[in-house]
Amino acid sequence: MSSDVQAFETHTPDAELDDLRARLAAARLPEPETTRQRWGQGVPLADLAELVDYWRTGYDWRAFEKRLDEIGQFRTTIDDLGIHFLHRRSARADATPLVLTHGWPGSVAEFVDVVDELADPEDMSAPAFHVVVPSLPGFGYSDKPATTGWGTEKIAAAWVELMGRLGYREFLAHGGDWGGNITTVLGGRFPEHVLGIHSTFAEGPPGMSMDGLTAVERRWAEETRDFWGTRAAYAKQQATRPQTIGYSLVDSPAGLLAWILDKFAEWSDTEDSPFETISRDRILDDVTLYWLTRTGASAARIYYESHNSLDPELRVDVPSAITMYPRDIEKCPRPWAQARYRQIVRWRAPERGGHFPSLEVPGYFVQDLREGLGAVLAARR
């Protein structure tokens, strides 16, 4: 590794955790929702009150800190901004470098349960990877940008620099949500470094026609249009007034929890609660990371920097594997995706899973990622 990379360890002062518990104990919660649909007006009071109590009395942040240190944490400075990342090298000589990029309201917590399996699979016939998981600028233990400009294009360029400092001139990339957007930019802008991509996010060029789509693809397009028309107020807020919502997200742990839990609930492949598939502890790992690093506002600014900014002319010519999970918030018909991703070598639409597949269906996610990236590497031979 380059001398510009430094090892990093997490240890939150006890006073910070005591302060969090005190704020949770003093939380002022509103009256119950007035609709009989439990999630019809957002996070139900009963669910939030129960989770606030568990966060205060039962949740163990130290276990998550220990897990991050076990994987291996590092920081480096790129364009005057400190970037935090996890780095798990494989013991396999044939391993391929892989960068995993999270989105919002996620974090590196999305991948802590799959890193080991990706790096050192028990099945020796499965591909192995040197896994790098950066924290986006303004997220987690990465620095908060003090000026505008840190959009997805600049982040993608920073990831190329980061991987180079680790000795990985060529690498694979995966992402979903903003991570999928950044992965698209990586594949399109840096084909000399990016061997290929796997993504749970695909966005075709604007102005694509519905003609010729299958019934399922039409439904996907209609569901995506409905999402952006009726359920994307959070994105409009963060794209236009991230500073305003940021005060609440940095000052109130109960408010931060509700803001993020709402998305885990709505975007997961569940019937009533995100905890049907994702553990309370893992969601609280994610939320607590936002809280302790005071990144509610800085993370929201990625919408201000990059909302609707994907270059309509950008094309991805490196081999691409794409998976559309059924309960994700955006599902792109394959004909639309093919207009941007010119070499789709594997396409999957599984029966289960939502926006957070590495947390919801981790076993399937790992297998799908292995097979997808295996197809990408085979296409380059």
321-349 residue pLDDT tens: 999 999 999 999 999 999 999 999 999 99
Determine the pLDDT at residue 1.
Answer: 66
For the whole model, what pTM was predicted? 0.97
Query: Which run of H or of E encompasses 5?
Result: strand 5-8
pLDDT in tens, 251-273: 999 999 999 999 999 999 999 99
If you ran DSSP here, which 8-state letter would residue 3 be given?
Answer: T
State yes or no: pLDDT of 142 exceeds 80: yes
pLDDT in tens, 113-128: 999 999 999 999 999 9
DSSP, residue by residue, 179-225: HHHHHHHHHHH-TTTEEEEEES---PPTT---TT--HHHHHHHHHHH
Helix segments in the chain, DSSP class H: 14-25, 45-57, 61-71, 115-119, 152-165, 178-189, 215-230, 233-240, 242-251, 253-267, 280-292, 296-306, 334-338, 357-360, 362-379
Mean pLDDT to the nearest integer, 212-238: 96
Determine the pLDDT at residue 2.
Answer: 66
Task: Please give the CATH architecture assigned to the domain spanning 5-379.
Answer: 3-Layer(aba) Sandwich (3.40)
Cα–Cα dist 168/343, whole Å = 23
State yes or no: pLDDT of 277 exceeds 80: yes
Confidence of residue 236 (pLDDT cuts 50, 70, 90): very high
State yes or no: pLDDT of 172 exceeds 90: yes
Q: By the 8 A CB rule, do 194 and 319 touch?
A: no
Cα–Cα dist 31/377, whole Å = 54
Confidence of residue 161 (pLDDT cuts 50, 70, 90): very high
State yes or no: pLDDT of 3 exceeds 90: no
